[in-house]
Structure formats: structure tokens, C-alpha cells
Amino acid sequence: MSLNYIYPDNEVVRNYDKCICCRACERQCANEVHEYLEEADKMIADDAKCVNCHRCVSICPVRALKIVPTDHEFRKNTSWKKKDIYEVYKQAESGGVLLSSMGNPSEFPVYWDKILLNASQVTNPSIDPLREPMETKVFLGAKEESVKRGEDGRLITKTSPQLKLELPVMFSAMSYGSISYNAHESLARASQEAGTFYNTGEGGLHEDFYKYGGNTIVQVASGRFGVHREYLETAAAIEIKMGQGAKPGIGGHLPGKKVGPNVSRTRMIPEGTDAISPAPHHDIYSIEDLRQLVFSLKEATAYKKPVIVKIAAVHNVAAIVSGIARSGADIVAIDGFRGGTGAAPTRIRDNVGIPIEVALAQVDSRLRDEGIRDKISVVAAGSIRSSADVIKAVALGADAVYIGTSALLALGCHLCRTCNQGKCNWGIATQRMDLVKRLNPDIGYKRLVNLMTAWKHEIEEMMGGMGINSIEALRGNRLMLRGVGLTDVELRMLGIKHAGESA
């Protein structure tokens, strides 16, 4: 027998005084952690299989369960943490590339938490959002640079196509395949009700969801899964996926085992085959080539829909976005290095890219300096956790944000970070029908709408406090921001002053 080098990270703790052996935990755990011992009339657990998703904890009728991190440790070592050691063990055992999911969990600065907002006092009155109109609506798309008149002197009112959002928050790309049918249905219905958009990701669009087309952004990635005329025509906007914050420079790869009958239908590939979207679009090697793809999509949809280009935030992001703004794209989405994923190589997720806060500030400044800020709308993504992060992103220069993880949390995700294993006990990152059923879209969509409603109120309150009654007036308004505990370089990169410095 080979030795098992790895001691489980989590321990399943059961209070036997409380446990009534109802076996609910056993039925609910897709990882088969819990087991009932008939002869002893006792529940036992195999800690090694537990992914710490809290499903059993939530379901236990007598609150007999909790999951605690193990206190079993290696000898103290600053350089070699347990995680580093175990990763070596895993690779020595399997020879495989480490695969993880959700956003980068490592200790990097979260700049959102080092930025504070301004508020009005005395000289500049704040606004009471409960009494006065507040505008959180935004329009995404290229804006006209000047007023144009026809030969007869009349105003030309035809503008580039725009997306109208009731609040500057959209649901980011999550493919059907990486998340479930019920998760997609929840996102689609919530977008419709909240007046925003969800994004199909690169997995195609299920025919049942064509009816939500007016609130759907469809994605076109290098593999072009599920891309065809009707898919493009149904959508409100089309997003070209060039990159993703969790895995810059790395493509998508849905393993054949996740390509069941339904996923096969929307991706338009046979069941059981791998769905491979390599990192490079092999027809794009320059901004000029990107322009060709942008315009091919515009031509295919008669210039009726905005085209979004999504990239990962990397070192040279400002120059890249400056190019994208000239490619004819209407919107650029920038995904920071903390952005989530259904599956990404661990090393890439944890080591590649730059923080969205810095990327966003740099992009906004660069586009302003070049006088092309209005040519393109900027959407920030990757680790937006709250309405405060939204406000800060807008003040740093975003027109709107994408949220992924926050939306999944609203649907019940407990951030166990094992989406890649396809056994999500919350019915989100899985295609197993018995698990998918656990996510009721009637409830799921309401929870998402609640989240959007609550954030909208909070956004209005924060804006009111600053004496701003329209979100457009906050965009790029960095005087509303102050840094705390940041170095000079960090402040310069973010384009903000330190707390205590006055305007």
C-alpha cells in the first residue's frame, strides 16, 4: 500500500449529543463524506473527501455539524507553507498540472480595501436619495465626440448602439457547462428583472434562453463554440473573449466528461469530446486583426449591437486598451487577476496578471490623455464584492462592472473552490441533474434581484453622501477617493491622493 502524504485540510466535526442520525447529510453530500454505521447506529465522516462547501452544515436539522480547518501542521516554516508542500506531493504523485477554481486566494493587496470615499460636509450639501431623484442608469457603447448635423442643418441623432443598464453592474461570463442550466436561468431572469445583462460565456446559448436575448451578452471565443447567426442575432451585445483575469494567456478547456447531452447541444459538438478554446485566436495577431473580427461581428448583425472585447489585466493593459479603442469595439471589459474561473491552472491563476484597481486607473488615464475615452466604455471585472467596490471602480474610471463570484454567492455558492470537480453540492458548478435540481431558479433569480436592488440603494446612498446625483458624474472622479496605507507609487498608479491630502 502506498502511503498517503496528505492529511485533509478540513475536519468534519459532528456533535454526537445533537446528531439524531437522520442521514440527511449523507444524502446531500455529493462527495460521499458521511456514512451511517448500522451496527453502531452512528454517523461517521471521511474528512479527506470533504471540500468544505457547508452543504451538510446548512442542511442538518439540529445544527450538529461544523467544518473546521485542521490544526494538524508541519513544523513551522515561513518559506515552506503547508500548501506549497502539499502541491509538491500532489504533483509528484500524479505528474499533472495543478488545476484550481474560483479567484486567486493568495495574499496580495486588495486595493479596494485601501481606498476610502469622500462625503459632503457643510459647504457642499449631500443629497437624500430617499427624497430626491438619483440616476444610476448607464449607457455602454461608443459616444459621439461632437454634435453632428446633416446637410439640412438638422441634428443627426443616430448613435452607435448602446446597452442600457439600470445600475452599473452586469453578470460576467460564465458558460453553460461550467455552471448549470438552473444557474443560467437564474442569471437570465434576474437580468431581465433588474434591467441589466448576463453573459453566456463561451459555451453557446441554450434554446430555452433565447427569450431573454434582450438581456443577454453572447461570447465569441477562439473555439467559437455555439456561435452561429441566430446566436449573434438574439443577443443584446457580443463579447469577443481575448482573455480572462484568472488565466491570462491561457485558453478554455472543458473536459469531455462534462460535455453531456445538453452541453453538447449548446456548444454544438458531439457528447464526450473535449471543448478546446486555445488562448490565442489564431486569426488575431494585431489590433488590425482584432478590428477584422469586431467588424465581422458588426457586419453579421447589421451594426445593431455593441461589440465588447474582454481582456485580462496584464502589465501593458493601458496600451492594449488604447489599441482596442481604435479597433472599432464599443466596450472593453478588463478582468483583474483576482477574477474567478470554473477551472484554471493554479500557477497561472495565482501568479499572472495585475490588480484590476491599478489596471482600471491606468486605462482610464491613458484613454483620457489620448482624447479617446468616449470612444469606448470600460467595464471592470475581477473581485468586485460589494456596492462599495462598484462605487470605487466607477470613480477610478469604470462605466460599469461585471460580477461573477458575488452573483454565484447570491445563488448559494460557499466558495469551496472545487468547481472544476463538477460535483457542486449547491447545484451551480455541476451538470449532474440530481445536484442541479437543488438550485431552484425561482428562488435563485429573486436572490440575484435582491442583491441588485440592495446594491442600487447603497450606491445611491454613497453617491448622495458625496453630493452627486448621477453616476455619470462620478465616473473617473478620483477626487472622491483617498488611499490609506499606500506607497507613493501605488497612489500614483491609482491616480489618487492619500487620506489627509486635500483637493
Cβ 56 vs Cβ 25: under 8 Å: yes
Question: Around 359, how many Cα atoms within 13 Å sit in the side-chain half-sphere?
Answer: 26
Q: What is the DSSP letter of 257?
A: G
Is there binding between residue 223 and other proteins (CB under 8 A)? yes
Q: Give 21 or 314: the residue with its C-beta nearer to ligand SF4.
A: 21
Report the distance separating Cα 356 and Cα 332, nearest Å. Answer: 13
Is 426 a binding residue for ligand SF4 by CB under 6 A? The answer is yes
Tell me how crowded residue 21 is: count the other CB atoms within 10 A of its CB: 14
Nearest residue (CB) to other proteins, 54 versus 253: 253
Residue 277 Cβ, how far from other proteins at the closest point, in Å? 9
Residue 432 in contact with other proteins, rule: CB under 8 A: no
Residue 279 binding other proteins, by CB under 8 A: no
Find all residues with CB under 8 Å of 22, minimum gap 6, and list them: 61
Instruction: Report the half-sphere exposure of 484 (CA within 13 A, side-chain side).
Output: 7
Q: Considering only residues 316-345, where is the footprint of other proteins by CB under 8 A?
A: 345
Q: Which does 240 bind (CB under 5 to 8 A by kind): ligand SF4, other proteins, none?
A: none
x-or-dash string of contact with ligand SF4, 75-114, rule CB under 6 A: --------------------------xx------------
Distance CA 302, CA 340 (A): 33
Kindly state the smallest distance separating residue 197's Cβ from ligand SF4, in Å: 21
* Out of 140, 238, 395, 429, the residue judged to bind ligand SF4 by CB under 6 A: 429
Nearest CA to 223 among 282, 265, 310?
282
Site for ligand SF4 in 15-54 (CB under 6 A): 19-25, 28-29, 31, 33, 43, 50-54
CB of 61 to ligand SF4, least distance (A): 6
Alpha helices for 400-440 (secondary structure H) = 405-410, 433-436
| Residue nearer to other proteins on the CB measure, 108 or 285 | 285
Instruction: Calculate the alpha carbon distances from 32 to 13, 42, 44, 101 in Å.
Output: 15, 16, 11, 21
Closest by CA to 362, choosing from 483, 490, 482, 494, is 494
Is residue 60 near ligand SF4 by the rule CB under 6 A? yes
Q: Is 152 exposed, middle or buried (0-12, 13-18, 19+ CB in 10 A)?
A: exposed
**Nearest to ligand SF4 of 25, 352 (CB atom):** 25
Match 495543478 to its residue by C-alpha cell: 98
Per-residue x/- mask for ligand SF4, residues 390 to 409, rule CB under 6 A?
------------------x-
Which of 256, 260, 323, 467 is the binder for other proteins (CB under 8 A)?
A: 256
Among 133, 261, 270, 371, binds other proteins (CB under 8 A): 270
> Using CB under 6 A, which of 194, 428, 471, 486 touches ligand SF4?
428
Residue 248 C-beta: closest distance to ligand SF4, Å? 21
What would you report as the CA-atom Rg of the chain, rounded to the nearest whole angstrom?
Answer: 24
What string of DSSP letters covers 428-459?
Answer: SSB--HHHHTTS-HHHHHHHHHHHHHHHHHHH
Dihedral (CA of 324, 325, 329, 333) sign:
positive
Report the residue count for the chain: 503
Cα 86 → chain centroid: 28
C-alpha cell at 164: 442600457
Compare residues 191 and 425 and give the one whose CB is closer to ligand SF4: 425
Return the number of the residue (51 or 320) whose C-beta is nearest ligand SF4. 51
Q: Report the SS3 class of residue 340.
A: coil
**Which residues make up the interface to ligand SF4 (CB under 6 A)?**
12, 14, 19-25, 28-29, 31, 33, 43, 50-56, 60, 62, 64-65, 67, 101-102, 408, 413-419, 424-426, 428-429
* Residue ranges binding other proteins (CB under 8 A): 87, 90-91, 93-100, 222-225, 227-229, 232-233, 253, 255-256, 264, 268-270, 272-274, 276, 278, 282-283, 292, 295-296, 299-302, 345-346, 418, 420-421
